[in-house]
Chains A and B, each alone.
Chain A
């Protein structure tokens, strides 16, 4: 039976939302005959990660990240591109967090990770502060669209889909929620659509054979913050090896 290691920190707004929604994956993984090791909250530490990762076939990280780093509880560094990206060798990986698809992802794939899914931009969401303050994040009507889309990636990996299928499932889910919000008469609908579109554009699937990403970048922004030139250069190097 394949084993999935989940790291989901929980200590601020983003991680409380991420970890709450990620609990659904933890609960449902056995449906795909996947055994789960769940490092949640205070257990989301480097020490626990290193103790468990070698026994696992899949890795899902839910928490803060940047181009080089994925972090656990209280921002403890769990993975760093130039240090231990090889911990993901032979393991399919998904990091639901900001920008990990820029440098960490290509570094992991270069070290033998067969599939790496994440975002090239900040993972951004709209939320209802009232739902957050009432500990009711799973019923936050705004946030639901973002985290449901993000979970779709995990479900598709658990279902054993190909990288192209995982990518398409995720994009299709973003499109589903985009269309849903297009029909809502809510003052924040436009903002929800804006940031859903942002996350959708930032999602990336990286494999040794190439990457899947949404190419629709406005020409005026090409020199700015959208195109992950570092990732593109690294992948170019990868493809030449």
Chain B
């Protein structure tokens, strides 16, 4: 089993997220549009705006890794 190369994935995904972000109208950039589950310990909801999603990915936080995984999975699917 190989170790996940999060730094490499982050760079790939960030490029895509920023391109998508640029296409969003201003009012949507700070709207809480993405409900990405909840914290497994506190069960509080995790809701992200497109702005926050980019920041979480940049910081390689746990939520950021979730976003990276989903976007990367999607990119793989589109190449199939």
Contact = CB atoms under 8 A, between A and B. Distances in A.
A218 to B, nearest CB: 5
B59 interface: no
Nearest to A196: B74
Nearest to A142: B33
Contacts of B46: 122
B76 to A, nearest CB: 5
Contact of A124 (B9, B31, B37, B43): B37
A14 B35 contact: yes
B74 A221 contact: no
A61 to B, nearest CB: 14
A213 interface: no
Interface stretch (A85-93, A105-113, A222-230): A222-230
A223 B3 contact: yes
A235 interface: no
Contacts of B35: 13-14, 124-127
Nearest to B36: A124
A223 B4 contact: yes
Interface string B42-80: 010111001000000000000001100111111011001
A188 B28 contact: yes
B38 interface: yes
Contact of B23 (A123, A128, A187): A187
A221 B4 contact: yes
A220 B45 contact: no
A75 B65 CA distance: 25
Interface string B9-47: 100000000001001110010011111111010010111
B1 A98 contact: no
Interface stretch (A21-29, A32-40, A48-56, A63-71): A63-71
Contact of A123 (B34, B37, B43): B37
B43 A225 contact: no
Contacts of B20: 190-191
Nearest to A225: B69
10 contacts: A64-B38, A188-B28, A195-B34, A197-B74, A201-B73, A219-B2, A220-B2, A220-B72, A224-B6, A224-B69
Given A128-B33, A197-B74, 15 more contacts: A13-B47, A14-B38, A14-B45, A75-B43, A124-B37, A124-B70, A129-B31, A129-B33, A187-B23, A187-B25, A193-B74, A197-B73, A220-B72, A223-B3, A224-B6
Interface of A: 12-14, 64, 66-67, 71, 75, 98-99, 121-129, 142, 187-188, 190-191, 193-195, 197-198, 201, 216-226
Which 7 residue pairs across A and B have the least CB separation, nearest first? A122-B37, A224-B4, A198-B70, A194-B74, A66-B40, A98-B37, A124-B36
